[in-house]
Structure 1
Amino acid sequence: MLKIDQLHAWYGKSHVLHGVAMQVGTGEIVALLGRNGSGRSTTAKAIMGLVEAQGSLLWQGRQLLGKKTFEIAQSGLGYVPESRDIFPTLTVAQNLWLGQKHSRQAGRWSQDDMYRLFPQLQARQHTEAGVLSGGEQQMLTLCRTLMGDPDLIIIDEPTEGLAPRLVEGVGQFLKQLKARGIAVLLIEQKLTIALDVSDRCYVMGHGSVVFEGTPEDLRQADAIRREWLEV
């Protein structure tokens, strides 16, 4: 579905990614792990055309490199950035409407689906998004991206700053995505939730992939966890 090979990326003259290779299959949850500064978020931005990059980014056999971000999104990729980019002066319902895929064919998700997933959003559907709590804004960002009906969604640090009960809700949300056949590239700091929901995982360090395997493989790779993940 998504196949990345020899991916390099830069911020100005700073060379951040060094030959990253990974892939995400149909309906698969893949966790991308690593410490802050390891290159995980840059990988997501490179896929979405937000940073200068070279190499190969094949999406369903088509090259993404060189395409504009809106073209990449229209091809079936969704992106939930760590910054929770909502429209603060618009209501929850208006934010969801803006994310909706407008085509003759109905998407897999409706606003009612979003409200069933996160009842808090339904209760605040007429509230301006800027006054929502951090957790509610994260829910809204996830849901607005889903309204675009992506086949693969890249989610950057969805549990950052959330209360434990909301973290559990995000885990259930990710499993529901998989149940509907949506692939997920999950960038996450919390190792427990990442290993619980993912089919495979990659660990990054210094802009390169230093480990690839199943969650069970990583649980048994003590040296990898100590060197690249644990504080």
Structure 2
Amino acid sequence: MLEVNNLHAYYGQSHILHGVDIDVGDGEIVSLLGRNGVGRSTVCKAIMGLVPAQGSVKFKGRDITGLRPNQVAHGGIGYVPEDRQIFPTLTVRQNLELGLKRAGKFGRWNFADVYRLFPNLEARQDIAAGLLSGGEQQMLTMCRTLMGDPDLILIDEPTEGLAPKLVEQVGALLAEISRRGVSILLVEQKLAIALKISARLYVMGHGRIVFRGTPADFGENSVVRKEWLEV
């Protein structure tokens, strides 16, 4: 589904990504772990074309390196940024409608689907999105992305700042997304959710991949956990 090879990215003169290699299979949940500032979010932005990148990014066998973000999105990759980026003056339903690639044309996801997963959104569908709580805004951002019917979704820190109950709901949504055949690259800080739902894990440090393997492999590698994740 997704193949990232020797990916480099820069912010000005700062070299952020140093030859990152990542792959995500069909319907697979893959987590990208690491401390803040190691380049995890930059990986997502480089894949989406939001920052200039060197190397190779292939999606379903097609080289998408250097494409504009709208081209990447229309090609089938969805992106949930860590800062949510809702439209605060539009209603919840209007925000969801903006996720559709074509007005009125639904794919695997429709209003009933997202409302079933997050009843709060249905109850508040006619109010301005800016009035939602932080957790509800996170739900809205994820569901808006799903309305575009992506084959792969990049999700950056979806549980950041959420109450435990909402974290559980997000975990359930991620599992449901995978069940519907959508691949996920998940940037996450919470080990518990990543270990629970992921088929494979990558750990980043200083702009490089320092570990790759299954949750079981990770559980047996205390050195990686202590050196690259624990504070």
Counterpart secondary structure, 2:212: strand
- RMSD between superposed Cα atoms in Å: 1.0
The answer on 1:166 being equivalent to 2:166 is yes
Corresponding residue number in structure 2 for 1:198 = 198
TM-score (norm 2): 0.98
Could you tell me how far apart the structure 1 residues matched to 2:40 and 2:158 are? 13
Could you tell me how far apart the structure 2 residues matched to 1:49 and 1:41 are? 12
Corresponding residue number in structure 1 for 2:62 = 62
Shift of 1:112: 1.1
Q: Is the 8 A contact 2:97 2:103 kept in 1?
A: no
Counterpart secondary structure, 1:158: coil
Corresponding residue number in structure 2 for 1:115 = 115
Gaps of 5+ in 1: none
Deviating beyond 6 angstroms after TM superposition, the runs of 4 or more aligned structure 1 residues are none
Corresponding residue number in structure 1 for 2:50 = 50
Corresponding residue number in structure 1 for 2:102 = 102
Q: How does 1:71-86 map to 2 (within 5 A)?
A: 71-86=71-86
Corresponding residue number in structure 1 for 2:15 = 15
Counterpart secondary structure, 2:177: helix
Provide, for residues 19-53 of structure 1, a one-character-per-residue CA deviation record: whole Å limited to 9, x for no partner.
00010000000000000011100000000001111
Counterpart secondary structure, 1:99: coil
Give the length in aligned residue pairs: 231
Shift of 1:65: 1.1
Counterpart secondary structure, 2:98: helix
Shift of 1:105: 6.5
Could you tell me how far apart the structure 2 residues matched to 1:104 and 1:193 are? 34
Could you tell me how far apart the structure 2 residues matched to 1:160 and 1:110 are? 26
Shift of 1:66: 1.4
Q: Is the 8 A contact 2:195 2:215 kept in 1?
A: yes
Provide, for residues 164-193 of structure 1, a one-character-per-residue CA deviation record: whole Å limited to 9, x for no partner.
010011111110011100000000000011
Q: Is the 8 A contact 1:159 1:188 kept in 2?
A: yes
Could you tell me how far apart the structure 2 residues matched to 1:121 and 1:106 are? 18
Could you tell me how far apart the structure 2 residues matched to 1:85 and 1:30 are? 24
Shift of 1:103: 7.5
Could you tell me how far apart the structure 1 residues matched to 2:86 and 2:106 are? 24
Corresponding residue number in structure 1 for 2:38 = 38
Shift of 1:107: 0.6
Counterpart secondary structure, 2:21: strand
TM-score (norm 1): 0.98
Counterpart secondary structure, 1:159: coil
Q: Is the 8 A contact 2:52 2:66 kept in 1?
A: no
Shift of 1:101: 2.5
Provide, for residues 85-141 of structure 1, a one-character-per-residue CA deviation record: whole Å limited to 9, x for no partner.
100000000000111121797411101111001000000000100110000000000
**Percent of matched pairs sharing the same residue:** 64
Corresponding residue number in structure 2 for 1:186 = 186
Could you tell me how far apart the structure 1 residues matched to 2:67 and 2:208 are? 23
Amino acid at match of 2:111: Q
Counterpart secondary structure, 2:26: coil
Gaps of 5+ in 2: none
The answer on 1:124 being equivalent to 2:118 is no
Provide, for residues 176-215 of structure 1, a one-character-per-residue CA deviation record: whole Å limited to 9, x for no partner.
0111000000000000110001000000000000000001
